[in-house]
Structure 1
Amino acid sequence: MGYVDEVLASVIEKNPSQPEFHQAVKEVLESLRPVIDANEEAYRKDALLERLVEPDRQFMFRVPWVDDKGQVQVNRGFRVQFNNSIGPYKGGLRLHPSVNLGIIKFLGFEQIFKNSLTGLPIGGGKGGSDFDPKGKSDREVMAFCQSFMTELCKYIGADTDVPAGDIGTGAREIGYMFGQYKKIRGLYEGVLTGKGLSYGGSLARTEATGYGLLYLTAEMLKCNGSDIAGKTVCVSGAGNVAIYAIQKAQQLGAKVVTCSDSTGWVYDPDGIDVAALQEIKEVKRARLTEYKNYRPNAEYHEGRGVWSVKCDVALPCATQNELTLDDAKTLVANGVTAVAEGANMPTTYEATQYLLENKVLFAPGKAANAGGVATSALEMSQNSERLSWTFEEVDSKLQGIMVNIFHNMDDAAKRYGFEGNYVVGANIAGFEKVANAMTAQGIC
């Protein structure tokens, strides 16, 4: 049994009932085989892979809070600090009923390589809770966030661990958490990113993940003799990433015809109306069933089905494992040329392999959706310098970072004989920087 196989078997044995974590580790280590085989003796001697797949530390804690009826509720909070070899831990806080330790570990592991790919000095971490902010009053959300931060504040700091937003954690939640951190620790520092503009937030942070996804997708198409302009695009999701991916795609000349939420999906042959989508989701916090009120020619369907629509480019922007093998087969049959992940690991392992085998350009999430964390790191820089950059300055830096990410993963894939395989390229490019830093710092 080779070194990679030994580590994979150990991860499954030590972390039972964590399938998302197993999947993330397998996807990364399988694609790293050429690098690991070339350096197996040194890596095995230093147990580099064993140290890479084991978090530095993981916290799980009780979060009690009082609802509007006076009833005490109890949720479970998590923070996994995975690897800080190239900088302080950095990664979002996910608030969603599906959150458990395995999902947080999968996200934190992915974050190591995503953050490395940005070229910025940030390590990998992730956190969150099984609390669901949907349907809660502002006061209930504040009560939860204050209780959550009362415990979390013991383990984070501007030069230690800098959380950010994620699914369920927007500007409102970050504001409540920042206020509680400041009150307890007595520090006004850039300990959270995604903050409001009035207290240290960065312009373009809201748009960053969606915009970054399109900057990388456009560069990938350009370098393969194509152009995003004129393409028909299918997007899943209707949250922050999806909305701004749709907006930027349309600015670049593409036509986006779908979006979705947890109850159903919309097909709009005339192109998704971003203003209507923003009003439904960001203002009303309503369901996509309302979209037809704005666009009578659009179709609303219950359940899932975004990937049944014929398109040139598919951008999964909702959640993990939403694009299955059957979906991949449908997309290929319908002539898709490129898939880029806006969410974290939204394509199953089998679907990813099928797309690669059928010569579909495929940009993995750790590269394609790195724009959010890249801009979070830019927010950290602005906080440290007590400066605020213009939208155009941040957007320009973001575009440069995403273009560089594409070329770094493209170059890494070519160096190891996997030209065009950006899954292998992204993992190798992210891994090499982390592995070199870990080796330089000794066994710690």
Structure 2
Amino acid sequence: MSYVNDQLNELIRKNPNQPEFIQAASVVLKSLEPVVESNPKYQKAGILERITEPDRQIMFRVAWTDDAGRVQVNRGYRVQFNNAIGPYKGGLRFHPSVNLSIIKFLGFEQVFKNSLTGLPIGGGKGGSDFDPKGKSDREIMAFCQSFMTELYRHIGPDVDVPAGDIGVGGREIGYLYGQYKRITNHYEGVLTGKGIPYGGSLARTEATGYGLLYFLEAMLKANGKSLEGKTVVISGAGNVAIYACEKAQQLGAKVVTLCDSNGWIYDPDGIDLAAVKEIKEVRRARIREYVNDHPHAEYHEGHGVWSVPCDIALPCATQNELGLEDVKELVKNGCFAVAEGANMPTTIEAEKYLQENGVLYAPGKASNAGGVAVSALEMSQNSQRLSWTFEEVDNKLKQIMNGIFNNVSSAAKEYGMPNNYVAGANIAGFLKVADAMVSQGIV
């Protein structure tokens, strides 16, 4: 049995009941086989054993009081996965589905994603099973303050710099940062995604969605295609989906769908993004309200966005949202490219089917790295006490995403897998981290 298979079997044995983490690790390790088999130094240094085991896993109680005066208790997490190339960096997710397996999968993916940016940041992730939906601002503030009262002792600008993720936007980051500052008496860049008045970066809100389209544009160009005039289907209606839609429209594509956890909209005329922003960003309402003022649009309950014929599909909602039957429908309807805006939104079976059917497929650790890239740029601005213009940040983002595509494509070609951007992303991300780990000894 090979070194990779040995480690994968051991990983499964040591992490029972953690399917999301095992799924992410399996995809990465299998694609690394030609690299580690041809470089015995990695086996000698135990790199696979070490890179799949977090540096530390922190789990804690978060007690807070709701508006009715009742004490509520949630569970908080921070998994600091690997800091071989820089301080831990990764978002906080507040969602009822959060558990240790999901945080570990996200943290593991973050190691490679952050490596691909070319910036000096390691990988980590955190969050809680707290659900911000339906909570008042006071309740969210109470939760965030309690969460940070424990988390603050584990983070710092040169140690671990969290950001936002699902359920953690500008409001939550503000409450978290305020509590960190109150406890430590330090005004420093310990969180990213902050508001512009207190150290945030212009273009951070748009970064993941814009970066996704910059990567997609580079991938299409390398394969003789373009976005101009193409029909695009997008899932989600949060930050990533909204700004992926915005940039796709700017690049000449027609986006016809968005969705939230209740259902999805289809607008054959193209999504009216201003209306969506009003519904989701201002009023925090459900996407179904879109059809009230758009007579040609349709609203459907549940899951079904992938049934709409399209040229390009952008899953931007959550993990494992794109299954085998979904991609069969996409391929049947002529979809030629899928690029991930969410983290691991495609199941293993669906990913395999896409690749076997010649669909250009961009994995999230490469294509959605724009958010963390601009988070790192925010860290740089904080360290230098500078504030760059939107255009400066956006230009740097586009350069980073083009660089990621070029590195991913080159790695895939070098190991005899041209256009296998999954393998290319895993290999390119792994090599930088693994070589740093080898150089630093057994730690």
TM-score computed with the length of structure 1 as normaliser = 0.99
Please give the alpha-carbon distance, in whole angstroms, between the structure 1 residues aligned to 2:332 and 2:31.
Answer: 26
Deviation at 1:43, TM superposition (A): 2.0
Please give the alpha-carbon distance, in whole angstroms, between the structure 2 residues aligned to 1:317 and 1:35.
Answer: 30
Deviation at 1:45, TM superposition (A): 2.0
Query: Does 1:9 find its partner at 2:28?
Result: no
Deviation at 1:18, TM superposition (A): 0.5
Aligned residues: 443
Please give the alpha-carbon distance, in whole angstroms, between the structure 1 residues aligned to 2:73 and 2:222.
Answer: 51
Aligned to 2:119: 120
Q: One-letter code of the match for 2:121?
A: I
Q: One-letter code of the match for 1:395?
A: D
Q: One-letter code of the match for 1:400?
A: Q
Q: One-letter code of the match for 1:222?
A: K
Q: SS in structure 2 opposite 1:154? A: helix
Please give the alpha-carbon distance, in whole angstroms, between the structure 1 residues aligned to 2:175 and 2:11.
Answer: 36
Deviation at 1:46, TM superposition (A): 1.4
Please give the alpha-carbon distance, in whole angstroms, between the structure 1 residues aligned to 2:341 and 2:402.
Answer: 16
Deviation at 1:294, TM superposition (A): 2.3
Structure 1's unaligned 5+ residue stretches are none
TM-score computed with the length of structure 2 as normaliser = 1.00
Alignment of 1:183-332 (within 5 A): 183-332=182-331
Query: Does 1:83 find its partner at 2:86?
Result: no
Deviation at 1:44, TM superposition (A): 2.1
Aligned to 1:401: 400
Deviation at 1:10, TM superposition (A): 1.0
Alignment of 1:152-167 (within 5 A): 152-167=151-166
Please give the alpha-carbon distance, in whole angstroms, between the structure 1 residues aligned to 2:441 and 2:338.
Answer: 39
Please give the alpha-carbon distance, in whole angstroms, between the structure 1 residues aligned to 2:442 and 2:52.
Answer: 15
Report Cα offsets for 1:329-381 as digits up to 9, x if no partner. Answer: 11111111100000000000110011001111000000000000000000000
Aligned to 2:424: 425
Q: Is the CA contact 2:237–2:317 (under 8 Å) kept in the aligned structure 1?
A: yes
Q: SS in structure 2 opposite 1:153? A: helix
Q: One-letter code of the match for 2:188?
A: E
Please give the alpha-carbon distance, in whole angstroms, between the structure 2 residues aligned to 1:18 and 1:280.
Answer: 36
Deviation at 1:106, TM superposition (A): 0.1
Please give the alpha-carbon distance, in whole angstroms, between the structure 2 residues aligned to 1:357 and 1:433.
Answer: 29
Deviation at 1:186, TM superposition (A): 1.1
Aligned to 1:47: 46
Deviation at 1:283, TM superposition (A): 0.8
Please give the alpha-carbon distance, in whole angstroms, between the structure 1 residues aligned to 2:420 and 2:159.
Answer: 34
Q: Is the CA contact 2:87–2:158 (under 8 Å) kept in the aligned structure 1?
A: yes
Please give the alpha-carbon distance, in whole angstroms, between the structure 1 residues aligned to 2:167 and 2:295.
Answer: 29
Aligned to 2:31: 31
Please give the alpha-carbon distance, in whole angstroms, between the structure 1 residues aligned to 2:65 and 2:11.
Answer: 38
Please give the alpha-carbon distance, in whole angstroms, between the structure 2 residues aligned to 1:390 and 1:286.
Answer: 31
Report Cα offsets for 1:140-172 as digits up to 9, x if no partner. Answer: 000000000000000000000000000000000
Q: One-letter code of the match for 1:10?
A: E
Please give the alpha-carbon distance, in whole angstroms, between the structure 2 residues aligned to 1:61 and 1:364.
Answer: 32
Deviation at 1:36, TM superposition (A): 1.2
Structure 2's unaligned 5+ residue stretches are none
Tell me how large the CA RMSD over aligned residues is: 0.5
Q: SS in structure 1 opposite 2:205? A: helix
Deviation at 1:299, TM superposition (A): 0.4
Please give the alpha-carbon distance, in whole angstroms, between the structure 1 residues aligned to 2:5 and 2:414.
Answer: 23
